[in-house]
A and B are shown apart, each in its own frame.
Chain A
Amino acid sequence: MLRTFVGSCVGLVLHNRHHRAAGLAHVMLPSSNGRGSPPGKYADTAVAETLRLVREAVGEPTLSVTAKLVGGAAMFAFQSGLPIGEQNVLAIEKILLDFGIPITGRLCGGRHGRRLTVDVVTGVVTVETAGQGTEILA
Protein backbone atom coordinates (compact mmCIF):
# COMPACT_ATOMS: atom_id res chain seq x y z
CA MET A 1 0.00 0.00 0.00
CA LEU A 2 1.11 3.55 -0.74
CA ARG A 3 -0.44 6.41 1.14
CA THR A 4 -0.34 10.19 1.33
CA PHE A 5 -2.42 13.22 2.27
CA VAL A 6 -3.17 15.97 -0.21
CA GLY A 7 -4.83 19.36 -0.01
CA SER A 8 -3.97 21.63 -2.92
CA CYS A 9 -1.21 19.14 -3.76
CA VAL A 10 -2.04 16.30 -6.14
CA GLY A 11 -1.43 12.61 -5.64
CA LEU A 12 -0.35 11.17 -9.00
CA VAL A 13 -0.70 7.39 -9.25
CA LEU A 14 0.81 5.46 -12.14
CA HIS A 15 -0.12 1.78 -12.34
CA ASN A 16 0.43 -1.27 -14.50
CA ARG A 17 -2.15 -3.94 -13.81
CA HIS A 18 -0.30 -6.83 -15.51
CA HIS A 19 2.88 -6.34 -13.49
CA ARG A 20 1.02 -5.28 -10.33
CA ALA A 21 3.28 -2.24 -10.03
CA ALA A 22 2.48 1.30 -9.03
CA GLY A 23 4.15 4.58 -8.22
CA LEU A 24 2.84 7.55 -6.26
CA ALA A 25 4.08 11.13 -6.51
CA HIS A 26 3.02 13.95 -4.19
CA VAL A 27 3.01 16.93 -6.55
CA MET A 28 3.15 20.31 -4.81
CA LEU A 29 3.75 22.82 -7.61
CA PRO A 30 2.93 22.94 -11.33
CA SER A 31 6.41 23.89 -12.50
CA SER A 32 9.96 23.30 -11.32
CA ASN A 33 11.19 26.44 -13.06
CA GLY A 34 14.42 24.62 -13.75
CA ARG A 35 14.99 23.39 -10.18
CA GLY A 36 13.70 19.86 -10.57
CA SER A 37 14.70 18.50 -7.18
CA PRO A 38 13.08 16.58 -5.70
CA PRO A 39 11.47 15.64 -9.01
CA GLY A 40 8.26 14.32 -7.47
CA LYS A 41 7.47 17.77 -6.11
CA TYR A 42 6.81 19.42 -9.47
CA ALA A 43 4.30 18.44 -12.13
CA ASP A 44 6.74 18.92 -15.00
CA THR A 45 9.25 16.47 -13.50
CA ALA A 46 7.04 14.16 -11.42
CA VAL A 47 5.38 12.31 -14.30
CA ALA A 48 8.65 11.37 -16.00
CA GLU A 49 10.37 10.43 -12.75
CA THR A 50 7.49 8.31 -11.43
CA LEU A 51 7.22 6.55 -14.79
CA ARG A 52 10.97 5.93 -14.77
CA LEU A 53 10.87 4.43 -11.28
CA VAL A 54 7.92 2.14 -12.05
CA ARG A 55 9.60 0.94 -15.24
CA GLU A 56 12.86 0.42 -13.39
CA ALA A 57 11.14 -1.58 -10.64
CA VAL A 58 9.49 -3.85 -13.21
CA GLY A 59 12.52 -4.04 -15.47
CA GLU A 60 10.66 -3.03 -18.61
CA PRO A 61 11.89 0.23 -20.15
CA THR A 62 8.77 0.60 -22.32
CA LEU A 63 6.15 -0.40 -19.76
CA SER A 64 2.79 1.29 -20.28
CA VAL A 65 0.80 2.62 -17.34
CA THR A 66 -2.49 4.27 -16.49
CA ALA A 67 -2.92 7.28 -14.21
CA LYS A 68 -5.20 8.37 -11.40
CA LEU A 69 -5.24 11.86 -9.91
CA VAL A 70 -6.42 12.90 -6.47
CA GLY A 71 -6.31 16.32 -4.80
CA GLY A 72 -5.92 19.83 -6.14
CA ALA A 73 -8.39 21.34 -3.68
CA ALA A 74 -8.86 25.07 -3.12
CA MET A 75 -8.88 24.95 0.66
CA PHE A 76 -9.04 28.65 1.48
CA ALA A 77 -12.00 30.85 0.58
CA PHE A 78 -9.73 33.89 0.25
CA GLN A 79 -7.86 32.41 -2.70
CA SER A 80 -8.20 34.45 -5.87
CA GLY A 81 -7.23 33.72 -9.45
CA LEU A 82 -6.62 30.15 -10.57
CA PRO A 83 -5.94 28.23 -7.33
CA ILE A 84 -2.61 26.44 -7.09
CA GLY A 85 -4.41 23.12 -6.74
CA GLU A 86 -6.16 23.55 -10.07
CA GLN A 87 -2.88 24.66 -11.64
CA ASN A 88 -1.31 21.44 -10.40
CA VAL A 89 -4.09 19.30 -11.88
CA LEU A 90 -4.02 21.09 -15.25
CA ALA A 91 -0.24 20.82 -15.48
CA ILE A 92 -0.26 17.08 -14.72
CA GLU A 93 -3.11 16.40 -17.15
CA LYS A 94 -1.23 18.15 -19.95
CA ILE A 95 1.96 16.21 -19.28
CA LEU A 96 0.12 12.89 -19.06
CA LEU A 97 -1.43 13.69 -22.43
CA ASP A 98 2.03 14.42 -23.85
CA PHE A 99 3.24 11.05 -22.55
CA GLY A 100 0.16 9.27 -23.90
CA ILE A 101 -0.79 8.04 -20.44
CA PRO A 102 -4.58 7.63 -20.04
CA ILE A 103 -6.29 8.92 -16.91
CA THR A 104 -8.59 6.20 -15.59
CA GLY A 105 -9.71 7.90 -12.40
CA ARG A 106 -9.73 11.33 -10.83
CA LEU A 107 -11.10 12.99 -7.73
CA CYS A 108 -9.96 16.60 -7.84
CA GLY A 109 -11.02 20.06 -6.74
CA GLY A 110 -13.36 20.91 -3.90
CA ARG A 111 -12.40 22.59 -0.63
CA HIS A 112 -11.20 19.69 1.52
CA GLY A 113 -8.06 17.65 1.91
CA ARG A 114 -7.95 13.97 1.09
CA ARG A 115 -6.16 10.86 2.26
CA LEU A 116 -5.41 8.42 -0.51
CA THR A 117 -4.32 4.83 -0.24
CA VAL A 118 -3.07 2.97 -3.30
CA ASP A 119 -3.27 -0.80 -3.56
CA VAL A 120 -0.15 -1.50 -5.61
CA VAL A 121 -1.43 -4.90 -6.74
CA THR A 122 -4.86 -3.87 -8.01
CA GLY A 123 -4.29 -0.17 -8.65
CA VAL A 124 -7.42 0.64 -6.68
CA VAL A 125 -7.19 4.03 -4.96
CA THR A 126 -9.22 4.61 -1.82
CA VAL A 127 -9.88 8.29 -1.15
CA GLU A 128 -11.12 9.63 2.17
CA THR A 129 -12.16 13.27 2.00
CA ALA A 130 -12.01 15.12 5.33
CA GLY A 131 -15.45 14.99 6.89
CA GLN A 132 -17.04 13.81 3.64
CA GLY A 133 -16.64 10.05 3.53
CA THR A 134 -14.75 7.57 1.35
CA GLU A 135 -14.74 6.95 -2.39
CA ILE A 136 -13.05 4.27 -4.46
CA LEU A 137 -11.27 4.81 -7.77
CA ALA A 138 -11.20 1.33 -9.27
Chain B
Amino acid sequence: MTPGNGRLAALFHRGADDASLALAKWLGRPAALLVQRLDTLPIEEAAAIMGSSEALICGCAMRIDGAIGDLLLLASDDDAGLSLADTLLERPAGTSTGWGDLERSAVIETANIVGCAYLNAICAALGPAGAAGILPSPPVFLRDFPEAVMGAVLMEQPVLSEIVLLARTEFRIDGTPITCSLVFLPDAAGLAALMPSAVDPGAGT
Protein backbone atom coordinates (compact mmCIF):
# COMPACT_ATOMS: atom_id res chain seq x y z
CA MET B 1 0.00 0.00 0.00
CA THR B 2 1.35 3.37 -0.90
CA PRO B 3 1.60 6.00 1.81
CA GLY B 4 -1.28 8.37 2.13
CA ASN B 5 -4.81 8.57 3.28
CA GLY B 6 -5.53 5.89 5.88
CA ARG B 7 -9.26 6.46 5.68
CA LEU B 8 -9.18 5.91 1.95
CA ALA B 9 -7.23 2.70 2.37
CA ALA B 10 -9.71 1.48 4.96
CA LEU B 11 -12.59 2.16 2.58
CA PHE B 12 -10.99 0.19 -0.22
CA HIS B 13 -10.06 -2.69 2.05
CA ARG B 14 -13.68 -2.86 3.13
CA GLY B 15 -14.73 -2.87 -0.50
CA ALA B 16 -12.30 -5.68 -1.25
CA ASP B 17 -13.53 -7.68 1.74
CA ASP B 18 -17.15 -7.49 0.62
CA ALA B 19 -16.20 -8.27 -2.98
CA SER B 20 -14.25 -11.30 -1.72
CA LEU B 21 -17.33 -12.60 0.04
CA ALA B 22 -19.50 -12.05 -3.01
CA LEU B 23 -17.01 -13.78 -5.32
CA ALA B 24 -16.53 -16.73 -2.96
CA LYS B 25 -20.29 -17.14 -2.61
CA TRP B 26 -20.77 -17.07 -6.36
CA LEU B 27 -17.95 -19.51 -7.07
CA GLY B 28 -18.55 -21.75 -4.08
CA ARG B 29 -14.84 -21.70 -3.37
CA PRO B 30 -12.41 -19.62 -1.32
CA ALA B 31 -11.77 -16.32 -3.06
CA ALA B 32 -10.19 -13.08 -2.02
CA LEU B 33 -9.39 -9.69 -3.41
CA LEU B 34 -6.29 -8.02 -2.01
CA VAL B 35 -5.81 -4.29 -2.39
CA GLN B 36 -2.16 -3.93 -3.30
CA ARG B 37 -1.82 -0.28 -4.07
CA LEU B 38 -3.77 2.95 -3.96
CA ASP B 39 -2.59 5.89 -6.01
CA THR B 40 -3.79 9.40 -6.59
CA LEU B 41 -2.19 10.56 -9.78
CA PRO B 42 -2.30 13.32 -12.35
CA ILE B 43 -4.30 12.09 -15.30
CA GLU B 44 -1.32 11.88 -17.68
CA GLU B 45 0.71 9.72 -15.27
CA ALA B 46 -2.19 7.40 -14.60
CA ALA B 47 -2.46 6.61 -18.30
CA ALA B 48 0.74 4.59 -18.11
CA ILE B 49 -0.12 2.59 -14.99
CA MET B 50 -1.19 -0.51 -16.89
CA GLY B 51 2.13 -0.48 -18.70
CA SER B 52 3.05 0.32 -22.26
CA SER B 53 3.56 -3.23 -23.39
CA GLU B 54 2.77 -4.11 -26.96
CA ALA B 55 0.84 -7.11 -25.67
CA LEU B 56 -2.90 -6.60 -25.49
CA ILE B 57 -4.78 -6.57 -22.22
CA CYS B 58 -8.31 -7.77 -21.66
CA GLY B 59 -10.90 -6.57 -19.23
CA CYS B 60 -14.34 -5.29 -18.44
CA ALA B 61 -15.41 -1.72 -17.89
CA MET B 62 -18.52 -0.46 -16.14
CA ARG B 63 -19.88 3.07 -16.08
CA ILE B 64 -20.93 3.91 -12.51
CA ASP B 65 -23.61 6.49 -11.80
CA GLY B 66 -24.63 7.51 -8.30
CA ALA B 67 -22.79 8.61 -5.19
CA ILE B 68 -19.22 7.92 -6.18
CA GLY B 69 -19.14 7.20 -9.99
CA ASP B 70 -17.52 7.20 -12.52
CA LEU B 71 -15.95 4.07 -13.97
CA LEU B 72 -14.66 0.68 -12.86
CA LEU B 73 -12.25 -1.45 -14.86
CA LEU B 74 -11.24 -5.05 -14.25
CA ALA B 75 -8.21 -5.76 -16.40
CA SER B 76 -5.36 -8.22 -16.81
CA ASP B 77 -2.99 -9.55 -19.39
CA ASP B 78 -4.41 -12.15 -21.76
CA ASP B 79 -2.92 -15.17 -19.97
CA ALA B 80 -4.24 -14.12 -16.57
CA GLY B 81 -7.63 -13.29 -18.05
CA LEU B 82 -7.92 -16.69 -19.69
CA SER B 83 -6.76 -18.34 -16.44
CA LEU B 84 -9.50 -16.46 -14.65
CA ALA B 85 -12.00 -17.67 -17.24
CA ASP B 86 -10.83 -21.29 -16.73
CA THR B 87 -11.17 -20.92 -12.97
CA LEU B 88 -14.59 -19.36 -13.21
CA LEU B 89 -15.78 -22.04 -15.63
CA GLU B 90 -14.21 -24.81 -13.50
CA ARG B 91 -12.09 -26.03 -16.38
CA PRO B 92 -8.54 -27.40 -16.19
CA ALA B 93 -5.93 -24.66 -16.43
CA GLY B 94 -5.00 -23.92 -20.02
CA THR B 95 -8.35 -24.96 -21.50
CA SER B 96 -9.24 -21.44 -22.66
CA THR B 97 -7.02 -20.39 -25.54
CA GLY B 98 -9.05 -17.50 -26.90
CA TRP B 99 -11.86 -15.13 -26.07
CA GLY B 100 -15.06 -16.84 -27.14
CA ASP B 101 -18.54 -15.94 -25.95
CA LEU B 102 -18.28 -18.24 -22.93
CA GLU B 103 -14.97 -16.81 -21.71
CA ARG B 104 -16.16 -13.25 -22.20
CA SER B 105 -19.40 -13.96 -20.40
CA ALA B 106 -17.54 -15.44 -17.41
CA VAL B 107 -15.34 -12.43 -16.87
CA ILE B 108 -18.16 -9.98 -17.55
CA GLU B 109 -20.27 -11.64 -14.85
CA THR B 110 -17.30 -11.58 -12.48
CA ALA B 111 -16.75 -7.90 -13.10
CA ASN B 112 -20.42 -7.28 -12.41
CA ILE B 113 -20.48 -9.21 -9.13
CA VAL B 114 -17.13 -8.03 -7.84
CA GLY B 115 -17.51 -4.45 -8.97
CA CYS B 116 -20.94 -3.95 -7.48
CA ALA B 117 -19.98 -5.55 -4.16
CA TYR B 118 -16.81 -3.49 -4.03
CA LEU B 119 -18.49 -0.17 -4.63
CA ASN B 120 -21.61 -0.89 -2.58
CA ALA B 121 -19.36 -1.55 0.43
CA ILE B 122 -17.50 1.70 -0.11
CA CYS B 123 -20.78 3.62 -0.40
CA ALA B 124 -22.08 2.04 2.80
CA ALA B 125 -18.88 2.96 4.64
CA LEU B 126 -19.12 6.58 3.52
CA GLY B 127 -22.32 7.18 5.49
CA PRO B 128 -24.52 10.03 4.24
CA ALA B 129 -22.11 10.86 1.40
CA GLY B 130 -22.69 7.40 -0.04
CA ALA B 131 -26.38 7.15 0.69
CA ALA B 132 -27.38 7.52 -2.96
CA GLY B 133 -25.63 4.22 -3.70
CA ILE B 134 -24.46 3.25 -7.17
CA LEU B 135 -26.14 2.52 -10.46
CA PRO B 136 -23.76 0.51 -12.66
CA SER B 137 -24.06 -0.03 -16.40
CA PRO B 138 -23.74 -3.57 -17.76
CA PRO B 139 -20.01 -4.33 -18.10
CA VAL B 140 -18.49 -4.20 -21.55
CA PHE B 141 -15.64 -6.50 -22.59
CA LEU B 142 -12.55 -5.05 -24.21
CA ARG B 143 -9.22 -6.32 -25.46
CA ASP B 144 -6.79 -3.66 -26.49
CA PHE B 145 -3.44 -1.93 -25.97
CA PRO B 146 -2.87 -1.08 -22.26
CA GLU B 147 -2.17 2.60 -22.84
CA ALA B 148 -5.13 2.95 -25.17
CA VAL B 149 -7.43 1.37 -22.60
CA MET B 150 -6.21 3.50 -19.74
CA GLY B 151 -6.25 6.62 -21.84
CA ALA B 152 -9.86 5.97 -22.80
CA VAL B 153 -10.80 5.11 -19.22
CA LEU B 154 -9.29 8.30 -17.94
CA MET B 155 -11.04 10.33 -20.60
CA GLU B 156 -14.32 9.13 -19.10
CA GLN B 157 -13.44 11.27 -16.09
CA PRO B 158 -15.19 14.61 -15.85
CA VAL B 159 -12.88 17.21 -17.29
CA LEU B 160 -13.16 19.13 -14.03
CA SER B 161 -11.03 16.58 -12.21
CA GLU B 162 -7.32 16.48 -12.96
CA ILE B 163 -6.70 13.85 -10.29
CA VAL B 164 -7.60 10.20 -10.61
CA LEU B 165 -7.65 7.53 -7.96
CA LEU B 166 -6.55 4.05 -8.91
CA ALA B 167 -6.94 1.05 -6.63
CA ARG B 168 -5.11 -2.02 -7.91
CA THR B 169 -6.41 -5.29 -6.55
CA GLU B 170 -5.22 -8.86 -6.89
CA PHE B 171 -7.56 -11.84 -7.15
CA ARG B 172 -6.84 -15.08 -5.34
CA ILE B 173 -9.13 -18.00 -6.09
CA ASP B 174 -8.53 -21.30 -4.30
CA GLY B 175 -5.30 -19.76 -3.05
CA THR B 176 -3.97 -19.25 -6.56
CA PRO B 177 -3.09 -15.66 -7.39
CA ILE B 178 -4.45 -14.31 -10.64
CA THR B 179 -3.01 -10.95 -11.41
CA CYS B 180 -5.89 -8.73 -12.30
CA SER B 181 -6.31 -5.08 -11.55
CA LEU B 182 -9.47 -3.46 -10.35
CA VAL B 183 -9.18 0.16 -11.27
CA PHE B 184 -11.71 2.61 -9.89
CA LEU B 185 -12.03 6.16 -11.02
CA PRO B 186 -14.39 8.26 -8.94
CA ASP B 187 -16.07 11.30 -10.42
CA ALA B 188 -15.51 14.73 -8.85
CA ALA B 189 -18.24 14.25 -6.24
CA GLY B 190 -17.00 10.77 -5.47
CA LEU B 191 -13.44 11.99 -5.12
CA ALA B 192 -14.63 14.69 -2.73
CA ALA B 193 -16.43 12.10 -0.62
CA LEU B 194 -13.58 9.64 -0.65
CA MET B 195 -10.69 12.01 -0.35
CA PRO B 196 -11.63 15.58 0.61
CA SER B 197 -8.03 16.78 0.66
CA ALA B 198 -7.64 15.95 -3.01
CA VAL B 199 -10.28 18.46 -4.12
CA ASP B 200 -10.08 21.09 -1.37
CA PRO B 201 -7.17 23.43 -2.11
CA GLY B 202 -7.23 24.66 1.47
CA ALA B 203 -6.74 21.21 2.84
CA GLY B 204 -3.39 20.56 1.19
CA THR B 205 -2.46 17.49 -0.80
User: Which chain A residues lie closer than 8 Å to B47 at the CB level?
Assistant: 28
Q: Contact mask A1-34 → B, CB, 8 Å, 1/0?
A: 0001111110000000000000000001101010
- Minimal beta-carbon separation of A70 from chain B (angstroms): 11
CA distance A85 to B151 in the complex (A): 10
User: Which chain B residues lie closer than 8 Å to A85 at the CB level?
Assistant: 152, 155
Query: Which residue of chain B is the closest to A114 with respect to CB atoms?
Result: B148
Would A28 and B44 count as touching, CB distance under 8 A?
A: yes
Q: Contact mask B113-141 → A, CB, 8 Å, 1/0?
A: 00000000000000000000000011010
CA distance A6 to B150 in the complex (A): 9
Q: Does A138 contact B (CB under 8 A)?
A: no
- Minimal beta-carbon separation of B58 from chain A (angstroms): 11
Q: Interface size (A, Cβ < 8 Å)?
A: 26
Would B143 and A130 count as touching, CB distance under 8 A?
A: yes
Instruction: Select the stretch in A53-61, A76-84, A91-99, A100-108 that faces chain B.
Output: A76-84
Q: Does A89 contact B (CB under 8 A)?
A: no
Select A7's contact among B138, B143, B151, beta carbons within 8 Å: B151
Would B143 and A76 count as touching, CB distance under 8 A?
A: no
Would A77 and B140 count as touching, CB distance under 8 A?
A: yes
Would A113 and B149 count as touching, CB distance under 8 A?
A: yes
Q: Does B200 contact A (CB under 8 A)?
A: no
- Minimal beta-carbon separation of B101 from chain A (angstroms): 16
Select A75's contact among B56, B137, B148, beta carbons within 8 Å: B148
Would A5 and B155 count as touching, CB distance under 8 A?
A: no
CA distance A41 to B159 in the complex (A): 12
